[in-house]
Homo-oligomer: A and B are copies of this chain.
Amino acid sequence: MANPVLVEVLRGAVVESRHRGAIAVVDPDGAAAFVCGDVDRPVFPRSAVKALQALRLIETGAADRYGLADHELALACASHGGEPEHVAIAQAMLEDIGLEEGDLACGPHDPLSSRGMKLLRESGARLTRLHNNCSGKHAAMLARAHTAGWHTYGYERRDHPVQRCSLKSVAHWAGLDEADVGQAIDGCGVVAFALPLENMARAWSRLARAVRDNDGIPSRIVHAMCTRPFLVGGTDRFDSVLIEETDGRAVAKIGAEGVHSIAVPEQGIGIAVKVDDGAQRAQFPAVIRILQMLDVLPASLPPRLDEFFRRPVRNTRGEVVGEIRLVH
């Protein structure tokens, strides 16, 4: 059974391309409040579970022992833009535990934000592993290993205690047995988890509820993301703009290959979106529409969010020749 078409790409008046996908919304009781498409099929949340991985960092005291501040926690949950501020924090996190860039298991890639790319080019500096959008998560994992007295070398491997802790956390928050969570290798080299979309939404509803109930550790993580949106994504990046424009009423986290997860703390609601084909251009309008349905966003969007919702298709002359639009 095919998932429904979520988003169409028009050229003139004709649909040129279509993106199918699934959406799950889970309420504070853990029940599915709205589903669209097949939400039982396993998906890889990829970077959309970083907040759950970060939880284990605090739970074991790594954050406290080394005095990780909120800006460092926010970066641990981030897919950052490789901007100088992001890179500096990741570097400081490593220095705090006597490690350096070479200890990161992630490979380098071009900064994800335009500003990050521009500043790197202008600086003439070399691209490093610190520019990897996951470097904050990796630094946090190293802090975890360091604190626990585990070997830091090999921390990215499936059988390392750091990754086993991540599995435990993801399974617990998603309401799954560890054996029911699929495992593969992520773009940054650590373990990537696979779980049904509805369970991914359930994990974020539990996170939202925990924040609403002022449960210490999740509250601290989400508070860090809400108050430092720039660190969660970067300049003009969707998650940062959404958190800023909603004053933290919606805490969103993108994952690779068309995935998004969102917590709405005041409603105790969790949302998960997967675009079947992995196209990022389709997931932003879907996330925005769901948040409009939940009255978290107004029908008339603030301009910075509207740019993600009503995306014109432009040609190389800069002319608008089509649009990307939601089907419903």
Q: A315-B185, A319-B189 are in contact. Are A20 and B44 (CB under 8 A)?
A: no
Q: Which of A10-18, A198-206, A283-291, A293-301 is the interface stretch?
A: A10-18
B107 touches A318 (CB 8 A): yes
**Residues of chain B contacted by A257 (CB below 8 angstroms):** 9, 16-17
Residue numbers in B under 8 Å from A192 (CB-CB): 11-12, 321
Let me know if B44 and A16 touch, CB within 8 A: yes
Complex alpha-carbon distance, A4 and B155, angstroms: 40
**A176-199 CB contacts (< 8 Å) to partner B:** 182-189, 192, 194
Contact assessment for A17 and B278 in the assembled complex, using a CB-CB cutoff below 8 Å: yes
Q: Are B182 and A12 in contact (CB under 8 A)?
A: yes
Interface mask (A35-76 → B, CB under 8 Å = 1, otherwise 0):
000000011100000000000000000000000000000000
Residue of B nearest to A185 (CB): B321
**Docked pose: A185 CA to B187 CA in angstroms:** 36
Task: Name A18's closest neighbour in chain B (CB-CB).
Answer: B276
**Copy count, this protein chain:** 2
Q: How far is the CB of A174 from chain B (nearest CB, A)?
A: 15
B17 with A20: CB separation less than 8 A: no
A269 interfacial contact with B, CB 8 Å: no
A18/B107 contact (C-beta < 8 A), A12-B182, A12-B183, A13-B184 known: no
In the complex, A17 Cα to B18 Cα: how many Å?
Answer: 14
A317 contacts B189, CB within 8 Å? yes
Q: Contact: B2 with A189, CB < 8 Å?
A: no
User: What's the Cα separation between A183 and B17 when bound, in Å?
Assistant: 15
**Residue A166 at the B interface, CB < 8 A?**
no
Assuming A9-B257, A14-B184, A257-B9, is B315 touching A19 (CB within 8 A)?
Answer: no
* Contact among B18, B132, B182, B316 for A108, CB-based, below 8 A: B316
Residues on B with beta carbons closer than 8 Å to the beta carbon of A105: 317
Task: Tell whether A225 is near chain B: CB-to-CB under 8 Å.
Answer: no
Closest B residue to A2 by CB, please name it.
Answer: B2
The 8 closest A-B pairs by CB, nearest first: A12-B184, A107-B316, A2-B2, A17-B278, A185-B321, A277-B277, A107-B317, A11-B184
Q: Besides the contacts A20-B20, A277-B279, A277-B282, what 9 more A-B pairs have beta carbons closer than 8 Å?
A: A11-B44, A16-B44, A16-B257, A17-B258, A20-B276, A105-B317, A107-B317, A277-B277, A278-B279
Q: List 5 A-B contacts (CB under 8 A).
A: A12-B183, A12-B194, A18-B276, A107-B315, A184-B322
